[in-house]
């Protein structure tokens, strides 16, 4: 799926996960002005996707906590995306990545653990934006922003609460 027109101008993408029915005002503020929002699952309520869609187009997968929610039945378990020429895999749980990964994928986006991660592994970038919903244990409340150029990926973790 091509998410950016053929001109391949730089894109700014917001990556959010594990909202669990809570879309914080700080998260809405942080995603303003992006070209695309990616939700990596455990959304919790259809209204969250609707609110995000008022800011920018949304691509989302369902998480383990979305499985039995009727509104989430049509959401995929994983997506492959073309983000400015960067082949990307979006799935909720990193445990599912190995079975879905092919050699062309350069960006892997997951959620589930609530632990933020931005890590290059060879020529692949792994991003887990952490949880933007309710705080779990003492983990931070975060999301990620990603600047996508034709030949660069520049991720940034955004802390939503002190």
The domain segmentation of the chain, as residue ranges, is 11-159
Q: What is the pLDDT of residue 162?
A: 86
What global pTM score does this model have? 0.94
> What are the pLDDT digits (tens) for 4-16?
445 568 999 999 9
- 3-state DSSP call for residue 115? coil
For Cα atoms 151, 1, 70, give the angle at the middle one, nearest 5 degrees.
130
Enter the DSSP assignment of 130.
-
Q: Residue 2 — pLDDT band, cuts 50, 70, 90?
A: very low
Give the Cα separation of 125 and 120 in Å (integer). 4
Q: Is the separation of the CB atoms in 44 and 22 below 8 Å?
A: yes
Q: What is the pLDDT of residue 7?
A: 56
Element (H, E) at 83: strand 78-83
Ramachandran angles phi, psi of 132, nearest 5°: -100, 0
> What are the pLDDT digits (tens) for 70-92?
999 999 999 999 999 999 999 99
> What are the pLDDT digits (tens) for 13-38?
999 999 999 999 999 999 999 999 99
The domain made up of 11-159 has a fold known as: Purple Acid Phosphatase; chain A, domain 2 (3.60.21)
Number of H helices, E strands in the chain: 3, 10
């Amino acid at each position: 799926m091509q998410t950016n027109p053929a001109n391949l101008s730089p894109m700014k993408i917001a990556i959010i996960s594990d909202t669990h029915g809570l879309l914080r005002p700080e998260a809405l503020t942080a995603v303003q002005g992006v070209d695309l929002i990616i939700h990596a699952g455990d959304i919790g309520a259809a209204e969250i996707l609707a609110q995000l869609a008022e800011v920018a187009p949304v691509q989302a997968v369902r998480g383990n906590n979305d499985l039995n929610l009727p509104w989430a039945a049509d959401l995929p378990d994983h997506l492959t995306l073309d983000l400015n020429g960067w082949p990307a895999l979006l799935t909720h749980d990193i445990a599912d990545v190995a079975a879905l990964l092919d050699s062309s994928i350069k960006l892997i986006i997951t959620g589930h653990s609530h632990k933020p991660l931005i890590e290059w592994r060879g020529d692949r970038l792994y991003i887990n934006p952490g949880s933007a919903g309710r705080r779990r244990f003492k983990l931070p409340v975060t999301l990620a922003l990603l600047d996508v150029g034709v030949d660069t990926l520049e991720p940034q973790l955004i802390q939503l609460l002190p």
